[in-house]
A and B are shown apart, each in its own frame.
Chain A
Amino acid sequence: MPPVTKRSDGNPSDEYAALVTDAATGDPQSLEQLLMKAQEVAYRFSRSVCGGPADAEDVMQDALMKTYRYVKRIHDPRAFRTWLYRTVRNACLMKRRKKAGEPDRVLSLDEILPASDGRVTGFEPAGPGRTPEAVAVNNALRRGLKKAFRALPPGYRAIVFLREMEGLSTREVAQVLKISEPNVKMRLHRARLFLRKQLEDQ
């Protein structure tokens, strides 16, 4: 009979913690599930924030081995989720340093403020419904977001990815990136303004 661990009510950090606890007590299915999740996170982070597919495969291998070792010496299962993202980010940074890739930079005011004539236009979705027009407008917005996201400097891209796309809390993002919570909020705000402006300009 597999070990019984109290499952969370949908909080991802608690779900990871339950898997780590079960895996550490010898449940092979939990260990397999955890190792697969680690590789999925590594792939998503690497593809979204760092580099190309070849890098993603290397980062996945790294996450697999390190997660396995983590489970063997686990102290705090609840810290696993942030540990995993931090580990994956560090692996990506190492890759980028080796290739002297995309430099990080600070977003300028010109990139986030409204146009100098004060123009602020909308880019509302086509509204509810699955009419061909609504689907086309919403697909164009999604493509626009993808392009705008790619144009963000890497430091901001990591914050948008972790906070908005992966659903980490501000505190978790701060722990992953080793910066203060106010800094996470400030950078997230600038990144949102940048994305909004890019979507407006498209």
Chain B
Amino acid sequence: MSARRQPPPHARCLALLGQLSRYVDNEMTARERRKIDVHCNDCARCRRMIAGLRRTVALCREAGPTPLPARLRKRAKADIARLLRSL
């Protein structure tokens, strides 16, 4: 028995793809949002796409700022002190 292949991306899914950042950023009107919610009720692929996008955004935000390494922090402080002394 051959493995069941998933169908190609539905045209409706591709049309919605361009709007999904606005959806996860809560920038849609209630009507626009409802259209996507209704589609997702029957579309596991789009539900997974939205969950993946949400997780991607969360990972980026969790990554947070890269701290200045101790050596560079020390040098930055020395440079500031030198600059202020030279005034």
Residues of chain A having any CB pair with chain B under 8 Å = 28, 31-32, 35-36, 39-40, 43-44, 47-48, 56-57, 60-61, 64-65, 68, 113-114, 116-125, 141-142, 145-146, 149, 160, 164-167, 185, 188-189, 192-193, 195-196, 199-200
Contact = CB atoms under 8 A, between A and B. Distances in A.
Nearest to A64: B79
Nearest to B82: A64
**B interface, by DSSP: helix, strand, loop or mixed?**
helix
Interface in B5-28: 5-10, 13-14, 17-18, 20-22
Nearest to B49: A120
**A interface secondary structure, majority:** helix
Contacts of A121: 48
Contact of B63 (A32, A60, A142): A142
Nearest to A163: B60
B83 A166 contact: no
A164 B6 contact: no
Interface residues on B, range: 35 or more
A40 to B, nearest CB: 5
Given A44-B65, A141-B55, 20 more contacts: A32-B84, A36-B77, A39-B79, A57-B72, A64-B76, A65-B83, A113-B14, A117-B8, A119-B6, A120-B46, A142-B59, A145-B56, A149-B60, A166-B65, A185-B22, A193-B17, A195-B56, A196-B52, A196-B55, A199-B55
